[in-house]
Amino acid sequence: MSCKCVVIGDGAIGKTSLVTLFKTRQFPEYVPTAQDIIIKPITHNSQPIQFELWDTAGAEDYDRLRPLSYPGTDVFLVCYSVNNKTSFQNTVSKWIPEVKRFMPDTPFILVGLKSDLKLENDSVSENEAEAVAQKFNAHTHIFCSSLIDYNINFLLSTTIEKCQNSLSYTQ
């Protein structure tokens, strides 16, 4: 069985750190990404799964190329940084509409990255994130941190479970 997950969001918000942590179990230094694909066999609920995690570039230069990676996607991770309200606003103005335009029937999870940097006043609140998740019918919303490995396993497990329930889930 296979599961394709595409990670999208603004540049420099922690997407590559999330993908690298999954691959190596180590927090990386930031390396700008055009696109990276991690394919890793895993076992989830006693089932072997070929898990594909696609890290995409958030830069505008890639707006026309990025959607070429979308066909066959089982679930999207629509990401923002909790300490960057602009990246959160862009989930509503750019990223969710992009998913809905190119893959309208594919589920997505709204992911707040860098939760270790959450500040009282300037950060995205759980209530704000939950409101967006509900408004746009996200499967769920998850805050996580690659730096301190917070909620990463929960995010992975939730993603795989949603993949398994997706219509495009393949064997």
Look up the CATH number of the domain holding residue 40: 3.40.50.300
Cα separation, 116 vs 149, in Å, equals 10
Q: How many domains does the chain have?
A: 1
Please tell me the least confidently modeled range out of 19-23, 53-57, 104-108, 117-121: 117-121
* Domain annotation covers residue 170: no
This prediction has a pTM of 0.91
> What confidence score (pLDDT) does residue 31 get?
59
**Range(s) of the domain holding residue 152:** 2-165
* Domain annotation covers residue 130: yes
> What confidence score (pLDDT) does residue 34 get?
58
* Domain annotation covers residue 171: no
Band (pLDDT 50/70/90 cuts) for residue 159 is very high
Query: Could you tell me the two tokens for 114?
Result: 């860098």
Q: At a CB cut-off of 8 Å and minimum separation 6, what does 169 contact? A: 1, 3, 74, 163
Residue percentage of the chain with pLDDT more than 70 = 88
Asked whether residue 98 carries a pLDDT value surpassing 60, the answer given is yes
Which residue type occupies 52? Answer: E
* Domain annotation covers residue 63: yes
* Domain annotation covers residue 147: yes
Cα separation, 26 vs 28, in Å, equals 6
* Domain annotation covers residue 126: yes
Asked whether residue 151 carries a pLDDT value surpassing 60, the answer given is yes
Asked whether residue 19 carries a pLDDT value surpassing 80, the answer given is yes
> What confidence score (pLDDT) does residue 171 get?
46
> What confidence score (pLDDT) does residue 167 get?
42
> What confidence score (pLDDT) does residue 22 get?
82
Asked whether residue 33 carries a pLDDT value surpassing 70, the answer given is no
Burial of 53 (0-12, 13-18, 19+ CB in 10 A): buried
Cross-strand partners of 150:
145
